Copies of this chain bind each other. A is one copy, B any other.
Amino acid sequence: MKYQKIPEATIRRLSRYSRCLEEMEENGEKVVSSAQLANKCIVNAAQVRKDLAYFGEFGIRGVGYYVRDLLNNIKKILGLNKEWRMALIGVGNLGSSLLSYFQLMTTQDYLKQNYKVVASFDIDPPKVIGRVSEKLGKPVEVFHINKIKEVVKERRIEIGLITTPPSEAQSVADLLVEAEVKGILNFAPAQIIVPEGFEVKDVFFTTILDNLAYLLSN
């Protein structure tokens, strides 16, 4: 295999393959062919092979792929063989909802455990501390936003989750960049700009709803 630029769609599918493989592993399946995996993930078999071929030769001709091996390889590729420490900024309604969701992740076993929110921030921390604490498990501390730089360093936080109103998203992103997180997951429906070298991914479910609304309006 030669080096090539890897399509983003490939990475998204890898994530899907890993979910399917986890399920297969639980069912005690040892070997899987590209056709079977493709079938389960609703993609083309050649697509599966090509996606994997970007990263190496994981299969055995005439046989298929060993489920456990392939799963481990994909997890390594995706960077899921470590714990990602995250901070959440904006503990309003959406923020506190997500906080409790991520807390649940660490207790519920059908959810991945690779991501952990280890601190949260707001302009007005006291107003929300009660609500966040009430949930099961150790509550996530809410700091004042001006503590962000030191806490990110202290707690070795690599990812920031922006859950503020859209008007604040860019300035929060600037703070996160300054605090030297490596990536941002942006839930605020606003385009944010970060310097070269930082990564931002958007989660706008209103956009997806709009998409659905469009499809249903025909």
Contacts and interface: CB of A to CB of B under 8 A. Distances in A.
Interface of A: 8, 11-12, 14-16, 18-20, 40-42, 77-80, 84, 93-94, 96-98, 100-101, 104, 108, 110-112, 114-115, 158-159, 165-167, 182-183, 185, 189-191, 193, 199, 201, 203-217
A interface SS class: helix
A178 to B, nearest CB: 18
B94 A101 contact: yes
Contact of A207 (B12, B40, B110, B190): B12
Contact of A213 (B80, B108, B207): B80
A191 B158 CA distance: 29
A78 B203 contact: no
Contact of A210 (B80, B97, B210): B80
Given A8-B211, A110-B167, A216 B199 contact: yes
B212 A199 contact: yes
Given A14-B214, A15-B210, A183-B215, 20 more contacts: A8-B211, A14-B210, A15-B204, A16-B207, A19-B190, A20-B191, A40-B191, A78-B213, A79-B214, A84-B213, A93-B100, A93-B101, A94-B104, A185-B205, A185-B209, A185-B212, A199-B216, A201-B211, A201-B212, A203-B208
